[in-house]
Each structure stands twice: as structure tokens, then as C-alpha cells.
Structure 1
């Protein structure tokens, strides 16, 4: 057989392993554990402080902040919005929204510019968590300013954490999917994340034991305050750009139990209408995910090519008799087609979760090629000194701070 036929066979083998051996990452059934979230389910609902880091979020705040203020939570709760050096009136708008909608008490605070060694969001969380701890809450809900919550979101999160003894409960908010580029790129973003951090592996790991995967989704993280203190959060992860994964790992190291799943009633309202917007979202942290390692970058590029690009290339090359004899062409076509079918089949559940047509599934290699280019661009930007740039701040070489 020719080289392409052998690579196609390898790709098929990888996909069969991914289908059965990677924690069934492609399934979308990891949702909040069942529990009784009725207002009378507990005699004493714990106190909660919701901390919202916000930098130039005036465009999304009118939809997201009222959803927090209107939480129908049976216990005591309040909201702290940390205005992280906004220039668009985010803090003033938050006061206006609180006056208009009422609901939970709101505090708006500003931490000033980050100290050396801190990323902006974690600096804001440091300030917000410090203010929250003065209220002595049992739980902290860390949620981004572009996340909208259904009225019972906090109640359901607390019920799940209490019923199942979970220290960190995180939901991956359903991202906005409206434009053509969002349909093509966004569901794949969550699909790739779940492939890298299979939710089943995260959720089944026993506290204190080495886990096959550990992660969280930063848009919605319910965290037991005592566990956060024990894990040194956020100081122990103060330099992390991929802060949600770093926080989950810190909780796990501190002996806490972590749970991550897909959200049904928590949504991201931030729009990414153009490819350039999605490109920036991915490329700003992709190389940081690879620990700024050229070796890991090369392996990632090669892996993406073999796993996602080879199947369609093998099919078309084999059909047109390119790069081998007749027998090799037949093997390339059938192995490539089988790998492509398995690939598309594993993508269908995520498309259904996002209420998208399943006919997007065969286009996953196109999306993977885009992600490959975004990853390479992230590395190029790093070596040009741009690093991870977000809302006017650039982190040239961010990495997790050493444990204390």
C-alpha cells in the first residue's frame, strides 16, 4: 500500500479509539446531577455571593446582569460586580440596572490595574472574592459578564452541589450560534474541548486521586468558599490565561470534588458574528494551552492533520488515483471514508445540542483546519511579542503560578 493508504488506516484506528476509549467525549448527556431543587428542599439554604468580573461589558450587561439580580434563590444571596478598568461605563450601567430591576443586592467595586504577575480577570476575581469572603458565604458563584442565567439557575447549582457533595460545579454555557461562522465554529469549539477534557473522566474522579482529566468552564463556576481558601484561589493560579482549567486543577489538588457538564439554562450572549471575532477568541489562548512548547505545537498540528484532514484527503485522492497503485487507492478510499463517517457521527450529538442541522457534521474537517491555523497563529503572535491579548491587555508569556 502507498503512504496515504497507511496514514488513512492509522486515522481510522485513531477514530475507533476516540469513539470508544476517550471517555465517550462525544456524548452530550453530562448535565447537572438530579436533585431536589424545590425552595423547600432544605431547611437552611446556604448563603451565596455571586462575583462577576467585568471589563468593557456595557453591550451585554443589560441582558446578563438582570438575570442574576432576578435569581429566585430561597436563601441569602447578593451580587458583586468588579469593574475591571472599563472605559465604556460598565460600572455606572450596573448601578442603573440594579435601580431599574431591583432583586438581589448589588455591589460595584473596582480593583485598579493588576499588579505584576496577575492576569486581569484573576485580579478582578481576587478583589471580588475578598469582598465576598467578608460576608462569610458558604458558596461563591463565579460567572462572566456575558452569561445569562435562568431564574432558577443558582438554586439548581446549589442543590446539585449539596446533594452530591461537589466542591466545584461548573456548567459550560451554551454559546451563541446565530451567524454562518458561529454555526461552523462554535459547536466544534465545545466538541474539541470535551475531546481534550472528557466530562465523564472529570466527573467520576474520586477526590484525592489522580484524575485522567480536570477542567471547568469559567463562565459558570459554583465554588465552595472553604475549598477555595484551601486551594489558595485565585492567588495560586494568578498568572493563568486559561483560568478555568487552572482553578479546577487547584481544587482537585486541594482534595475537592469537581464536576463539569453542559448547561441547559445558562447561555453566553456574547456575539461572534465574523470569523475574525472567533479567530481572536481561539488564538488568544491556544498556544498557552500548549504551554508555549514548539514540540507540543508540532505534535498538535500533526495530530490534527492525521485525525481530521487525512480522511477526506484520502477519499478524494483515492477516487482520483493520486499517490499510489490501484490496491492502495481502494484502501485509502475505504479507510478514509470509514474514518470520516465515524468523525461525523461523533459530532452529531453536539450539533443537536446546539440545535443545528446534522449536515454540518461532514464539514468538521474544514472547521478543524481553521482551528489548526488559529493555533499556529497563536504561536506566531506569541513569538512576535503579542502574547495573549484581550481587551487592551497583552500577556506575553502567561503561565500558572507555582503552588505555595
Structure 2
């Protein structure tokens, strides 16, 4: 009797997991599709002025792979680059000047704002300084891009054309992250897959939709919109600054587009599991608004959606329950099928798709670790700085 009840409980739980996957497949904005690329565009009659703002802290290792690509932009209008050295100790600023002298191209200004005051993250303090300098040039657009992002020569031209044609206030592309090591193959495509599941790209571009997000590595922003939304001042303490920026823009009625990139790549390596663990855990609990109930709900959701199907297959095989085995296999199959397009986008072998439950388990552990580090006072740590929970920061007005 007891074993029958356990088998029945497994079967019912697995049925709920399968139902969740069918809902995700059909009702979550088709998040699993990877065909959301730059929208239709045409060249504007007059190319607007653009200023590129690059916050950089200890980026000497990746700057030679990224900065020359910005300086080499084939943009028909006026454009210039502002690299803001955020207290680097590895010679980032001097290296940027040397690269500009060697490669030429767009004008480059290297500046440093000093240490951020209380209530500011270092990146947003650097962005504020760069935007302030850029506004003196009167640009119509600002391109906010990270120091580890490499752009093809026509990247800026395509971004501006898309924004101008579609009337977007923000056009953001999720840069293609580096996938070379075994751990990068296991974790990186899943990172983008999970992000798209949380923020379906199709919904973000739809006017009136409440879903909003951006990808901080590549954000083209209208300068007038930045002023109306008080960016970055209104989001100065945000650790997940790209999503906060999108919310601030949408809060002023702005129109946002987000999709996958074809010609924008991250050159930052994450060769070890430790490197990827730090990347995820530093902001995972901030994504949950430092809320223990949201953490519990997230852990329960990850277990139900990603871990129950393979567990049910195993339990069904052991106990002889065909119902649990078939339901688990069906849920696992749907999960695997939705992951295949992302693996194709990253040009990875399809045998990685059935391993998604293992990767999801890693993300569960990273999320829990993020909460643990937060309560130990080491949450949201990045490059020597640790940021407080937003509601513990005094408002400076």
C-alpha cells in the first residue's frame, strides 16, 4: 500500500511537471525559438550622431579583442567612443589609449570618474560619467556596451537603422557569449535559454507588454529617452542594471526591442566552473529581490520543472511504474526539444540537450549559494566591490 502511494505521488508530480512543460512550450512567448534577430530596417535619410560609452574595470586582458572593433565601426554618421576607466589597477586606461593610437578609427576619449559614492554601483557610476561627457556632443543615440564585447564593423550602423526604422527607444542585443571549454558548453547556452524563459524576447518588443528586459553588453538608447528616464541616476544601485534600465525606459512609455545577436560577441572567457559560478551567483539572489520566499519558490520550480522528469524516469524504471516512466520521458523530451534551438544557435552538439537537467541543478546550487553569500555579507561581489541590498542604501535624492 505504501509503495503504491509513493508511485502514485511520483506519477502525479510528474504529470504536473509535464503540464508545466506544455504550458512553457506553447504559452511562454515561444521563448525557446532563436529567430528573434534585429528587426526589419532601412537606412535613415540622415545618420544621427552616436556616442559609445564603455565602462571598464580591470579589462586589460580582453580590451585588445574588443576595443579595436568599436574604433573600426563603419558608421556613416558622426560617432565617437568614451571609455570610462572605473578604478582599474591593470593599466586598462593606458592600454585603451595605446590601442587607439595603433588602430585609429573613431575618436576615443579615456576618462575616470573616481570611486563611486554610496548608493552607486561602480559600473553605473562609470556610465553616468560617460553619458555626462557624451551629452556635451549632443548625440541622438547612446550605445552602452561592455568592455568585453566585440562588434562587427557594421554593428553600430545596423543598430541605429533598426532603432530609427522601428521607432524604438532601446535596441538591445544579447551578445553571443564565448563557448569553448567543456563547462562553457554545459552552462553558457543554458544561461541564455533561462534568460529567454524569464523574459521572452517576443513579448518585450510588443507595445503594451509588461515584460521588459535588456542585455547590458549592447544597449542602443535614445539620448532623449535616457534623460526622461533619468538614466542612470534612477537605477544607480541596480546590480542587474540592464533589466533595471529597461524597466525605467518602459516606465516612461518607451518602446524596447531585445533579441539575439549575430554580429556582437563577448570575448570574455569562463573556462572553469568556478568562473561561471561566480558570474551567476553574484547576481542570482538580487534577481529574486533578496526575498527568501521567492528563493524557495524558485528552488521548488527548478526541481519540479527540470529535475522531476529524469527522476521520474529513474523511479519508474526501478519501481516498474510505466505511468511515471512515460510521463517523465515525455516531459524530458519536451524539455530537450525546447533546448535544441539554443544549442544550434551556439553551434553546439545536440547530445548536450538531454543534459539540461544537470545544468539546471547547477543553476539551482548557484542560486542558493548567491543567497548564502548575501546573508554572509558577500553578496553581489564583483571585481573587489560588494554591493548592499538596495533598500539598505540611503537615498541621496
Fold match (TM-score > 0.5)? yes
Q: Structure 1 stretches (4+) deviating beyond 6 angstroms?
A: 399-404
TM-superposition CA deviations, 1:92-142 (whole Å, max 9, x none): 000000000000000001000001100110000010000001111000000
Q: Give the superposition deviation at 1:42.
A: 3.1
Structure 1 segments unaligned to the other structure (5+ residues): none
CA contact (8 A) 1:246 1:400 kept: no
Closer, same or farther: CA 78–289 of 1 in aligned 2, 3 Å: same
> 2-side partners of 1:252 and 1:239: how far apart?
18
Q: Deviations over 1:4-23 (max 9, x none)?
A: 11110000000000000000
Q: Which residue of 2 aligns with 1:375?
A: 367
What is the aligned counterpart of 2:144 among 142, 145, 162?
142
Shift of 1:58: 0.2
Choose from 141, 151, 154 the match for 1:152.
154
Match runs of 1:222-241 below 5 Å: 222-241=220-239
- Partners of 1:194 and 1:235 in 2: CA distance: 27
Deviates more, 1:226-235 or 1:390-399: 390-399
1:252 is matched with: 250
- In the TM superposition, what are the counterparts of 1:148-227 in structure 2 within 5 Å? 148-204=150-206, 206=207, 209=208, 211-227=209-225
Helix, strand or coil at the partner of 2:276: helix
- TM-score (structure 1 length as normaliser): 0.95
SS of equivalent residue, structure 1 residue 272: coil
The reply to whether residue 20 of structure 1 matches residue 12 of structure 2 is no
Supply the distance in 1 between the matched residues of 2:375 and 2:317 (Cα, whole angstroms).
Answer: 41
The answer to whether the 8 A contact 2:313-2:326 is kept is yes
Aligned with residue 39 of structure 2, among 2, 27, 33: 33
> How far is 1:403 from its partner?
12
Q: Secondary structure at the match of 2:253?
A: coil
1:8 to 10, 14, 27: 14
Question: For each residue in 1:46-100, what CA deviation from the matched residue of structure 2 results, as whole angstroms up to 9, or x when unmatched?
Answer: 0000000000000000010000000000000000000000000000000000000
Distance 1:191 1:289 in 2: 16
Correspondence list, 1:241-280, <5 A: 241-280=239-278
- Give the drift of 1:43: 3.2
> Hey, what's the Cα distance between the residues in 2 that align with 1:136 and 1:268?
29
In structure 2, relative to structure 1, the CA distance for the partners of 1:403 and 1:5 (3 Å cut) is farther
Residues 1:314 and 2:312 aligned together = yes
Deviation at 1:339, TM superposition (A): 0.1
State the shift of 1:396 in Å.
3.0
Equivalent in the alignment of 1:394: 386
Partner of 2:3: none
TM-score when normalising by structure 2: 0.96
The answer to whether the 8 A contact 1:239-1:399 is kept is: no
Answer whether contact 2:73 2:106 (CA < 8 A) is retained.
yes
> Structure 1 residues 257, 111: closer, same or farther in 2, change over 3 A?
same
Partner residue in 2 for 1:52: 54
Instruction: Report Cα offsets for 1:320-374 as digits up to 9, x if no partner.
Output: 11xxxx5xx2111011000000000000000000000111000000000000000
Cα offsets for 1:166-209 (capped at 9, x unmatched): 000000000000000000000000000000000011011x1xx3
Residue 35 of structure 1: CA displacement?
A: 1.5
Is 1:43 matched up with 2:45? yes
- How many residues end up aligned between the 2 structures? 390
Q: Does 2:242 match 1:283? A: no
1:212 deviates by: 3.4
Aligned counterparts of 1:389 and 1:168: Cα–Cα separation in 2? 28
Do 2:44 and 2:164's aligned partners in 1 also have CA atoms closer than 8 Å? no
Equivalent residue, structure 1, for 2:323: 331
In structure 1, what is the Cα distance between the partners aligned to 2:153 and 2:202? Answer: 27
Q: Contact (CA 8 Å) 1:286, 1:378: kept in 2 or not? A: yes
Going from structure 1 to structure 2, the CA distance change for 1:57 and 1:379 (only over 3 Å counts) comes to same
Among residues 327, 337, 341, which one is paired with 1:345 in the alignment? Answer: 337
Task: Tell me if structure 1 keeps the 8 A contact 2:44–2:165.
Answer: no
What's the Cα RMSD here? Answer: 1.3
